[in-house]
Chain A
Amino acid sequence: MMPLRPDTWVGYAFAIVAGFAFGFVLERAGFGSSRKLAAQFYLRDMTVLKVMFTAIVTAMLGLTLLTSLGLVDFAAIFVNPTYLGPQIVGGLIFGVGFAVGGYCPGTSIVAAVTGKMDAVSFLLGFGGGVLVFAGAYPLVGGFAQSGGGERELLSDWLHLPMGVVALLVVVMALGMFAGAEWVERWMRRRDARASEPPAESTHDDQAHAPAAAE
């Protein structure tokens, strides 16, 4: 029955292997580049959304399938506790930092080890943010712990079976992928039109260029 939960040091060895694969895939996806990551927020490169939702759908379907086959004890799998208020406010703040800094923590590590100095700066700033939060804890700690912290699933909230919710997530992801492909094409056409000078002046430039050179 899974999860296997090996001994501490076997687990730590596995952590390095899993982390290695995680970091390797992030780099190969192009996430060692702040420009590529930030392009997500200008609709020019939707790779962040595509990679993230494909990964979520893959792991989610694997977990639901193996649970329904009785191979995984889902109750023994860690589910992030829900603190709705702090998670929504923290998420909004985090998103602002993502758009300003061009990274999230995992991708900044990959960017830093592939030589990006701006990622090193982001990492130092992130440490600073952790400290600001720690310093402000007497003020914000109450809010940070509000909201119950229960193990609550989307399926509990929607009052639907997990399998149905998993199916809805797949449908939503496919819709988002279609939208992402469409918006990338649309932005490419728009950028191409913007960089193209009006047809008449192009013609004139070509006609006059040799004369001007002489």
Chain B
Amino acid sequence: MTQALVHDARPESPERPHWNPYLAGFALGLVLLATFLVMGRGLGASGAMARATARAVETVAPTWVHENGALGSYFANGARWWDDWLVFEVVGVALGGLAAGLTSRRFRLKVEGGPRIKPTSRLAFAFAGGLISGFGARLALGCTSGQALTGGATLALGSWAFMFAVFGGAYGVAYFVRRLWT
């Protein structure tokens, strides 16, 4: 009896449903529009992650980072690695994601992957995917947020080329990595 009451009070699988994708996209579009109207620029993610990486490596190899062609500008002329709109925006992303995960009851410690993959392999492939993406994002000067979404909305030619290239690369390789996901 007590068990049944406890069970009723805390039903299993209490996750909230996802938003309708078109409504979620509309909401995201309004956030993006607001950043254009206020800041004159859009959203992003990879730039802040490159800055954080540069800062982490600075602790072990400061001279190398400061003189590096790709990372040195974050520290040039006394600039500080965190002194950029994207760094603060990404802090907000983490807070917003956490708040949404807690309120949707989707926060759960786990390794997520396809039905056929072992957790250790999934972690290794996630790292490899991150490595590949990190290289690609630095070469393209942005990711799905900073290029595809932001550049897409301002009709930037290169961002549209990037966006179709991303889908091309992903669909092109999907068949070969299907064991990871299906």
Contact = CB atoms under 8 A, between A and B. Distances in A.
Given A16-B95, A87-B162, A88-B161, A47 B132 contact: no
Interface in B117-137: 122-137
A211 interface: no
B137 A90 contact: yes
Contact of B69 (A41, A84, A141, A143): A141
A58 B158 contact: no
A87 B165 contact: yes
A18 B140 CA distance: 24
Contact of A60 (B35, B65, B91, B152): B152
Contacts of B158: 80-84, 87, 147, 152
A84 B110 contact: no
B contacts with A: majority SS: helix
Given A72-B36, A97-B135, A99-B169, 15 more contacts: A15-B86, A23-B93, A23-B100, A54-B26, A87-B141, A92-B165, A101-B126, A114-B97, A115-B108, A116-B112, A121-B130, A127-B53, A133-B70, A137-B68, A137-B69
A179 interface: no
Given A82-B158, A95-B169, A109 B90 contact: yes
A169 B106 CA distance: 34
Interface string B21-34: 11011111111111
Interface residues on A, range: 35 or more
Nearest to B100: A27
A99 B166 CA distance: 10
Contacts of B22: 50-51, 54, 177
Contacts of B86: 15
21 contacts: A2-B37, A5-B39, A11-B38, A18-B92, A22-B31, A22-B93, A35-B112, A62-B29, A77-B41, A80-B158, A87-B162, A91-B165, A97-B131, A100-B125, A101-B130, A122-B133, A124-B127, A124-B130, A130-B49, A132-B135, A137-B69
Contacts of B128: 100-101, 125
Nearest to B114: A35
Given A17-B92, A87-B159, A93-B135, A125 B129 contact: yes
A70 interface: no
Interface in B140-177: 140-174, 177
A170 to B, nearest CB: 12
